């Protein structure tokens, strides 16, 4: 049996996923609510790790197996959530403008 959700992310994979999350949150100027959300749910990271197994059959058709597997491993790791919060705080303090949204409808 494959152990998809049991393997740890490499530091490079973790950094790439965190960069992606921070960029998306920053694009919509939601750093503060995201920091609050992740701080509140950081103690539940272990529980979130188990919930990912339950929710994956509903999420995989929309996001793909690899994305669900990678993001669920990231959010199930308490230290990775702390790294994500730190990156969001840095993004908020920089206050730079997010890149243009290429999917915006004119």
pLDDT tens sequence across 72-92: 888 888 899 999 999 999 988
Does residue 100 lie within any of the structural domains? no
Does residue 22 lie within any of the structural domains? yes
Q: How far is CA 78 from CA 11, 62, 72, 97, 103, in A?
A: 14, 25, 12, 29, 32
d(CA 87, CA 91): 6
Number of compact structural domains in the chain:
1
Question: Range of 31's domain?
Answer: 10-94
Does residue 1 lie within any of the structural domains? no
pLDDT of residue 75: 86
Does residue 102 lie within any of the structural domains? no
Q: If pLDDT is split at 50, 70 and 90, which confidence band does 26 have?
A: very high
CA distance between the termini of the chain? 48
d(CA 84, CA 21): 8
| pTM attached to this predicted model | 0.79
Does residue 4 lie within any of the structural domains? no
């Amino acid at each position: 049996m494959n152990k998809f959700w049991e393997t740890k992310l490499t530091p490079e994979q973790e950094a790439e996923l965190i960069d992606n999350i921070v960029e998306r949150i920053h694009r919509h100027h939601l750093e503060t609510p995201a920091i609050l959300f992740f701080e509140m749910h950081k103690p539940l990271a272990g529980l979130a790790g188990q919930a990912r197994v339950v929710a994956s059959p509903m999420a995989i058709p929309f996001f793909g197996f690899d994305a669900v597997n990678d993001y669920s491993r990231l959010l199930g790791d308490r230290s990775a959530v702390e790294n994500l919060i730190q990156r969001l705080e840095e993004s908020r303090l920089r206050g730079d403008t997010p890149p243009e949204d290429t999917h915006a409808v004119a």
